[in-house]
Chains A and B, each alone.
Chain A
Amino acid sequence: MAGVALENWVERIRDPKIECMSRDEMADLQSKRLVDVVKRVYENVDFYRKKMQQRGVEPGDIKSIEDIEKLPFTTKEDLKNNYPFGLLAIPMKDVVRVQGTSGTTGKLTIAPYSQKDVEVWGECVARGLTMAGLTNEDIIHVCYGYGLFTGGMGLDYGAKALGATAIPMSAGNTKRQMMCMEDLGATAFACTPSYALYLAESIQEAGLVDHMKIKAGIHGAEPWTEEMRKKIESILHINCFDIYGLCEITGPGVAQDCIHKAGLHVHADYFYPEVLNPATHEKCADGETGELVFTTLAKEAMPLLRYRTKDLTSIDHSPCECGRTLPRISKFTGRTDDMKVIRGVNVFPTQVETALLSMGGVVAPHYMMIVDREDNMDVLTVMVEVDERVFSDEIRKLDALRNKIGAVLKQALGISVRVKLVEPKSIQRSEGKAVRVIDNRKL
């Protein structure tokens, strides 16, 4: 019961010197950091040295942030080919932490951190928590998963940097979440937007809205709509904020929106954003949609040059009403690939294919993924064709097959999957690139 109307909002800025810097000063800082990071990767990472040599670029050619266009791109495929530590720019002994996320096939995408990387991560999340009006007096209930996934640890580091109290709940067990939220007096909570809505409705159904001290929700790791935001805000009478990040770059806290909801402020002193036409790689004008590309300007363990996120967005460099000059990216409009974010987890059709093929020819590799949102929770159904090799005359054997496919997919994707057995040839065969995913979520 503590939502704040815009007219009563008091804006707090954690690092006004950086967050409200003039564009020229920011460009100077970015230039200085770019020169440094390029030098570090050229000296320490074979992959980048070779790529730069192929393009005929030397560290000396990079004098300012404007020169970034001379640098090579990095793709998720490059991370896969250099799995797990091929892109490391520091000795392994200086790596203090590793996080990970799903790769396009069975292997993870790994993100190593130095001590300083962890501190920068926490600092960026703390800037976001401050944007959400939180201070060291707040109690932050973190129901993002703790583990390799960056959600839980990211918010935890942010709360620590802010000096707030972190309650590391992790995901699941809604009753227990509500009990702790009420008993421990949480003033903010952080989780995926779909879980936030589910939790909000559970709190409402239990008649506990008035018992809660929550004033802010920090939500991200999956796409969500303004309608969802309004719904969570109106049920709990709070302000909700959209946090963005990706494990390869640092995790949550790469960008977040402020009370004005005018796009997500990118911490561009650490993560330099470019929005490029995905086909021509030319720079998009402000407001024009293109692929978001990040260069980590200060990362030590695994700096990435021009990492192609495959997220589609537009950028706005004009100052925000909140006073920040950090560039803002719009809510994401889609992807350049067929990755889906389901319950906060990245899912690629290729993972499903690899998992089905790993069953040793038990099932045909003809499948279709259908993503729905039921009761505000994402549900993934995978349709698998039954063929002569697996068809049994007995229901129990078909049920066992379905359960086995379900278990294999759950293991591969990290989320539970509904398996639906369908008649052969009933999944549409398409010419050229097969359509493997139907997303029925209205995002």
Chain B
Amino acid sequence: MIRQISVFVENQPGSMMNVTSVLTEAHVNIRAISTFDTPEFGIMRLIVDNPVRAKEALTEKGFVTRVSEVIGAELKDEKGNLNQMLAILADGKINVNYIYSFVIREGKAPVMVFSTDNYEKAEKVLRAADVKLVEEEEL
């Protein structure tokens, strides 16, 4: 299980940069980023190397943040691998709220980050199928 930071941003010029500049000043490394947008506002979701420091820095600058747990599953960079992982979750009747991906630099293996309502079960079925789950120390 890894921790993700979500930040509320208004949909207007510079709003994402305001977030990244706070993280830069706090010496936090961004590992993955994904955004969701509506015409008026958006949510930035971030995986960083130090979520505690990131949250402190953002809160101090007045951003609304929320830390939530997500699962990071490492996949082999081969055809059909994402499909296979999703099939495992589907078979386990586990709902995936959203999913995005990033790459761990050294290993070059793609990591899929996803949010679900049932982490324990998701972890269990993925481990049972020998899918490697990423831990925070590895970020």
Name A's B-contacting residues (CB within 8 A). Answer: 386-388, 391-395, 398-399, 420-426
B10 touching A393 by the CB < 8 A rule?
A: no
B65 touching A391 by the CB < 8 A rule?
A: yes
Contact partner of A391 (CB less than 8 A), chosen from B4, B8, B45, is: B8
B38 touching A395 by the CB < 8 A rule?
A: yes
Main secondary structure of the interface of B (DSSP, over half): strand
25 interchain pairs, CB-CB under 8 A: A387-B64, A388-B59, A388-B64, A388-B66, A391-B6, A391-B66, A392-B66, A393-B45, A393-B66, A393-B115, A395-B36, A395-B38, A395-B43, A398-B8, A398-B41, A399-B38, A421-B8, A421-B40, A422-B10, A423-B9, A423-B62, A423-B63, A424-B64, A425-B62, A426-B10
Contacts of B36 in A (CB 8 A): 395
Contacts of A392 in B (CB 8 A): 66
Interface residues of B in 25-69 (CB under 8 A from A): 36, 38, 40-41, 43, 45, 59, 62-66, 68
A399 to B115 alpha-carbon distance, docked (Å): 19
Contacts of B40 in A (CB 8 A): 420-421
Q: Does B83 contact A (CB under 8 A)?
A: no
Main secondary structure of the interface of A (DSSP, over half): loop
A391 to B15 alpha-carbon distance, docked (Å): 17
User: How near does chain A come to B54, taking the closest CB pair, in angstroms?
Assistant: 15
Q: Please judge, given known A-B contacts A420-B40, A422-B10, whether A394 and B64 are in contact too, CB under 8 Å.
A: no
User: How near does chain A come to B126, taking the closest CB pair, in angstroms?
Assistant: 21
User: How near does chain A come to B66, taking the closest CB pair, in angstroms?
Assistant: 5
Name B's A-contacting residues (CB within 8 A). Answer: 4, 6, 8-10, 15, 36, 38, 40-41, 43, 45, 59, 62-66, 68, 97, 115
Contacts of A393 in B (CB 8 A): 4, 6, 43, 45, 66, 68, 115
User: How near does chain B come to A372, taking the closest CB pair, in angstroms?
Assistant: 15
B115 touching A391 by the CB < 8 A rule?
A: no
B9 touching A394 by the CB < 8 A rule?
A: no
Contacts of A387 in B (CB 8 A): 64
A423 touching B64 by the CB < 8 A rule?
A: yes
Please, which residue of chain B has its CB at the minimum distance from the CB of A389?
Answer: B64
User: How near does chain A come to B101, taking the closest CB pair, in angstroms?
Assistant: 18
Q: Which residue among B41, B62, B97 has the maximum number of chain A CB atoms within 10 Å of its CB?
A: B41
A423 touching B65 by the CB < 8 A rule?
A: no
Q: Please judge, given known A-B contacts A423-B8, A423-B9, A426-B10, whether A394 and B62 are in contact too, CB under 8 Å.
A: no
Given A391-B66, A395-B36, 6 other A-B contacts at CB below 8 A? A391-B8, A393-B6, A395-B43, A398-B43, A399-B38, A424-B63
Contact partner of A394 (CB less than 8 A), chosen from B15, B65, B97, is: B97
**Nearest 4 Cβ contacts at the A-B interface:** A393-B6, A391-B64, A425-B62, A386-B8
Contacts of B64 in A (CB 8 A): 386-388, 391, 423-424
A420 to B65 alpha-carbon distance, docked (Å): 18
A425 to B18 alpha-carbon distance, docked (Å): 14
Q: Which residue among B10, B43, B64 has the maximum number of chain A CB atoms within 10 Å of its CB?
A: B64
B68 touching A423 by the CB < 8 A rule?
A: no
Contacts of B4 in A (CB 8 A): 393
Contacts of A422 in B (CB 8 A): 10, 41
A395 to B8 alpha-carbon distance, docked (Å): 10
A421 to B39 alpha-carbon distance, docked (Å): 11
Q: Which residue among B8, B40, B59 has the maximum number of chain A CB atoms within 10 Å of its CB?
A: B8
Contacts of A398 in B (CB 8 A): 8, 38, 41, 43
A424 touching B62 by the CB < 8 A rule?
A: yes
A388 to B15 alpha-carbon distance, docked (Å): 18
A423 to B65 alpha-carbon distance, docked (Å): 11
